[in-house]
C-alpha cells in the first residue's frame, strides 16, 4: 500500500474512535445495588413497581414530584423519585425502565419507559424536569 493510503486509513480509524467516544452511550441495565456503588452516576434500571406500597403524587402541592417503590430483577427494593408529573397508567405497566442515579439511598429518576401489557399500546416514554 502507498504511504498516503495508510495515513488516510489511520485518520479514518481515529475519526471513528473519536465519534464513538463522544456520542456512544453504551450503558447496560443495572440493579439498584450496582447503581448504588457509584452514587450520582446515571444508570438504566429495569424494575417492577411495588403496587402494595402505593404511589405518592399531589399535583396541588407539587405537580413535578412523584415517588413510588420499585423492585429490580435481583429483588432489591428502592424508593424512586421522579421529577415530573405522574405518568398515566403507570400502575398498569408490566415493567419500568428508569434512567437515573442513586443519591442517599433513593433512586432519582429523570426518565421512565413503561412496558405496557397490551399489544396495542406502544412503549410509553416519559421525561422528567431537570432539577
Q: Using alpha carbons, select from 33, 105, 110 the residue that is nearest to residue 72.
A: 33
**pTM for the full predicted model:** 0.68
d(CA 128, CA 98): 11
Condensed to tens digits (0 to 9), the pLDDT of residues 71-123 reads 999 999 999 999 888 988 888 888 999 999 999 999 999 999 998 766 555 55
- Quote the DSSP letter at residue 74: T
List the domains of the chain with CATH numbers.
27-127 (2.40.50.140)
Condensed to tens digits (0 to 9), the pLDDT of residues 45-83 reads 999 999 899 899 998 999 889 999 999 999 999 999 998
Average pLDDT in the chain: 85
- Alpha-carbon dihedral of residues 82, 62, 68, 104, nearest 10 degrees? 60
Amino acid at each position: 500500500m502507498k504511504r498516503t493510503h495508510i495515513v488516510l486509513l489511520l485518520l479514518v480509524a481515529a475519526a471513528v474512535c473519536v465519534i464513538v467516544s463522544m456520542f456512544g452511550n453504551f450503558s447496560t441495565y443495572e440493579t439498584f445495588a450496582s447503581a448504588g456503588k457509584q452514587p450520582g452516576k446515571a444508570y438504566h434500571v429495569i424494575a417492577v413497581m411495588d403496587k402494595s406500597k402505593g404511589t405518592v403524587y399531589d399535583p396541588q402541592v407539587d405537580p413535578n414530584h412523584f415517588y413510588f417503590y420499585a423492585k429490580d430483577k435481583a429483588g432489591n427494593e428502592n424508593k424512586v423519585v421522579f421529577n415530573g408529573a405522574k405518568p398515566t397508567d403507570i400502575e398498569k405497566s408490566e415493567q419500568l425502565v428508569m434512567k437515573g442515579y442513586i443519591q442517599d439511598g433513593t433512586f432519582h429518576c429523570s426518565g421512565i419507559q413503561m412496558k405496557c401489557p397490551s399489544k396495542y399500546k406502544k412503549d410509553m416514554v416519559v421525561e422528567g424536569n431537570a432539577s
